[in-house]
Amino acid sequence: MSGPGTTETVRQFTVGHDDDGVRLDRWFKRHLPQVGFAMVSRWARTGQIRVDGKRADVDTRLEAGQILRVPPGGEAKGSGKPARPKRELTDEEIELADSMVLTQDRAAIVLNKPPGLATQGGSGMKQHVDGLLDAFAGDGPRPRLVHRLDKDTSGVLLIARTPGSAAFFSKRFSGRSAKKIYWALVVGVPNISDGMIELPIAKQPGTGGEKMHVDEEGGQPARTRYRVLDRAGNRAAWVELHPLTGRTHQLRVHMAAIGHPIVGDGKYGGQDAFLSGTISRKMHLHARRLIIEHPDGAPLDVTAPLPEHFANSMASLGFDEADGAELPPAPPEPTKADEKRAAKAHAKEYRKERRGERRKRSDSPSGRVRSGKPAGKPGSKGPGKPGGKPGGKPGGKPGGRPSGKPSGRPARPGARKPGGSAPRGSSPRGKR
């Protein structure tokens, strides 16, 4: 099979397993980035690209094992995306990268990320997982991140070896079919031992996106299932967490919101997040296990050992790791009816906010009315218009339509819903 660098003769490639189902133009972007999209389109239009001897369009989906015929040439100066040069790593960096490996195969590398090591680089961030991936590149493509962990969160981190496996795993994460299981130590003990937290999350204003908070009106939906595995009196609990959505800092925000911050998480729990005695001040949140489909068929199921500070705290509080080995039954997935109800509720809240904005504009000194139309001709009827009836309709709210329901007072975090049996944002799933 001709290599990508051969430009004077017709080239033939066998579509690999990682490229099964990928579009033709995407295949070129992966394997022949020096050939621009315009050239690929022209070749396809003129019949110069063949798949198993047949003409193909740029949106043709390829199948593993097919033979792809590519004409010579196509390299244009400055076209395509240049390959990222490999960085020379120090012996210490290579040793660190190798020490994190839990398992690896042709499609994936699974790491046990230590606490304190960032997943990606940022301002002033010199060492991070992404910067160590050249240690696993060899002669093939550079491995890629497909999900992330917070800097102070330890545990299972999946790395894709090839562009094809990166696309495969990314779909499983975005489609929520990957099962992520976290362990955490939290301050105090939740009243409900097996529950669901459903509180929307948004960036907290004034923090530059560095911090998140619960935002009932403008936040993105976020769902976390939790299960208490053991307790140390009323001092602390060992909990298992299942994020069913993937919001930034979701687990940390949710546990703090129900009054049980993760031990060591001063960002969201303040001073209340730290326990006295021998318990470490580091954050006790660990990505314990990942179960995800694999391109080769058999699911990938990997468990990461606890970091030293977490294991020591478990022993100090009298917790036994063996008690967390059993997987709980999978939570029921939301039905289409549930999704429709959530969408309607969101749309209703949005319309409510928009009505409030229009009312404010209508009450402004400029004389603009709620609809944005001019006030009308003298003598016409209508509230606020010359010759109209004063006061509007009887029983209506001043300056607006009747709401139909009293607004009520907003509930405090952790408060019980009227007629319900669980704290706000948390629903029972078994014993208390």
Q: Does 134 participate in catalysis according to the annotation?
A: no
Over residues 143-195, the pLDDT tens digits come to 999 999 999 999 999 999 988 889 899 989 988 899 999 999 999 999 999 99
Domains contained in the chain, CATH given? 11-70 (3.10.290.10), 108-173 (3.30.70.580), 176-324 (3.30.2350.10)
**41-45, 143-147, 280-284, 338-342: which range is least confident on average?**
338-342
Residue 424 in this model has a pLDDT that exceeds 60: no
Burial of 401-428, coded b for 16+ CB within 10 Å and e otherwise, reads eeeeeeeeeeeeeeeeeeeeebbbbbbb
Of 190, 113, 120, the C-alpha closest to 154 is 113
H/E run at residue 355: helix 336-362
H/E run at residue 179: strand 179-187
Over residues 214-263, the pLDDT tens digits come to 999 999 999 999 999 999 999 999 999 999 999 999 999 999 999 999 99
pLDDT, position 2: 39
CA distance 23 to 44: 13
Which of the following is catalytic: 18, 134, 150, 265? 150
What average pLDDT score do residues 74-95 get?
A: 69
Q: What is the pTM of this model?
A: 0.66
Query: Residue 209: which pLDDT band, with cuts at 50, 70 and 90?
Result: confident
pLDDT, position 348: 62
* Cβ pair 169, 154 in contact under 8 A: no
* Cβ pair 375, 367 in contact under 8 A: yes
Burial (CB < 10 A; 0-12, 13-18, 19+), residue 109, is: buried
CA distance 241 to 252: 10
